[in-house]
Amino acid sequence: MDPKIFKAYDIRGIYPTQFDEDGAYKIAQGYAKFVKPKKIVLGRDVRTSGEKLWSSAARGFTDAGVDVVDVGVISTDMLYFAVANYGYDGGITISASHNPREYNGMKMVREKSIAISSDTGLNEIRDLALKGDSVKAEKPGTISKQNILDDYINHILKFIDTEKIKPLKIVLSANFGLAGKVAEKIIAQIPAKITYECLDCEPNGEFPKGRPDPLIPERRTETAELVKKTNADFGVAWDADADRCFFFNEKGEFIEGYYIVGLLAKTLLKDHKGEKILHDPRLTWATIETVKAAGGAPIMTKTGHGFIKDRMKKEDALFAGEMSAHYYFRDNWYADNGMIPFVMMLEILSVSGKKLSEILASIMNKYFVSGEINNEVKDVAMVLEEAEKIYHDGKIDKTDGLSVDYSDWRFNLRGSNTEPKIRLNVESTKKELMKTKRDELLELIEKYK
């Protein structure tokens, strides 16, 4: 087991060279020793290596005297639902999120789906797993099966009034994960006629079209073309483990998650004036303006699901959103979810009677963004230090990486928590200025490659 598989928020590595059955067993044992649960949820995503890794993790738990609830093949947000909704002591899903097919890993939570990240126990579990001390209980744990899908769908539908949904035509793109099958079952519960085309909706852990991540431009083309070809009202795409949700407007144009954060916040604030809304520091201006105009209180917080869930609980925030298309809801135990935004979008378009491009036009035409640009560099800290020297006359914030604000443009530079990369985001009230400053910062980054 390679220690590098332990990231800031989860565990991810190449199977079987970095992460294998023995590693899954030892991590389960480390979790059992650290968390001390009596009964946990154990699921897996669609990856081909998942079944073997699941079996080893299950054995690690039962050997330690922990009862395992087998919830089968699930999305990551179904793990959060199962642990919190049924009151289990914690849970793990065998998943490598949107990484390529050769990867696998683990995402884990405690009771009430409290995130376990490097700050809240993952490093301790790592150390126990690497040490390899076995935990053997006198009485082994049991394994039972539970089908959670129907309860999960009922939970998702509580976020909207299904009677308000009007007939719509949509494109679903599941990247060969579970999202397509779940979305189809949700649509079947809606009284209005929703017609849809389902792209890559048959689960396939081989991911035959490449890395299952809609943030990669080449993974958007097919969805965009299908939206245009079918004259759909909108398109929606998920990554492989379905905890992130991306939208395309009726023209087939990909909508940055940044703009969706404000739209969802505005919708939720209609019945919750004065509530707090959390957002990450990468792109901020459109969210701050939208939230304030809707009667909410925007709060900036560090990027990453562990940090955001923690802060949400402390603030009792109504909603949080990241530009990476992770959306968090107080009524979802402060956890992120990839299906709630989808059903909310059905209601938003039905109630407004407008096209998605019309709904977002005013904010998208005011704030122009670069999209996140990732580059591998030799030393992230050196890039941040140099950028701070050059842009010292701006308003500097170090909530997460380096953010610098000027009157008509701003940027955020931060190191990746999962890869040896630096991530750049630029926004401006002037399109050409955004491009100029983006290129200026990319020249700086180039020096450190």
- Cβ–Cβ under 8 Å, residues 95 and 68: no
Amino acid at 285: W
- Local structure of residue 165 (DSSP, 8 states): P
Pick the catalytic residue: 49, 56, 75, 97?
A: 97
Backbone φ and ψ of 429, nearest 5°: -85, -5
How far is residue 345's CA from residue 330's CA, in Å, rounded to a whole number?
A: 18
Q: Residue 426 corresponds to which tokens in the numbers above?
A: 């630029």
- Cβ–Cβ under 8 Å, residues 268 and 247: no
| Residue 97 falls in the annotated catalytic set | yes
Nearest-10 crossing angle of helices 149-157, 76-86: 90
- Cβ–Cβ under 8 Å, residues 186 and 341: no
How far is residue 132's CA from residue 150's CA, in Å, rounded to a whole number?
A: 39
Contacts of residue 407, Cβ cutoff 8 Å, sequence gap at least 6: none
What is the maximum span of the chain, computed from C-alpha positions, in angstroms? 68
- Cβ–Cβ under 8 Å, residues 9 and 117: yes
How far is residue 437's CA from residue 368's CA, in Å, rounded to a whole number?
A: 12
What residue has token string 């998702």? Answer: 156
Q: Residue 216 corresponds to which tokens in the numbers above?
A: 């990669």
CA atoms 2, 120, 330, 157: torsion sign: positive
| Helix locations, 158-232, DSSP H | 179-188, 221-230
Q: Which residues pair with 424 in a beta bridge?
A: 373, 413
How far is residue 88's CA from residue 367's CA, in Å, rounded to a whole number?
A: 43
Write down how long the chain is: 449
- By annotation, the residues acting in catalysis are 97
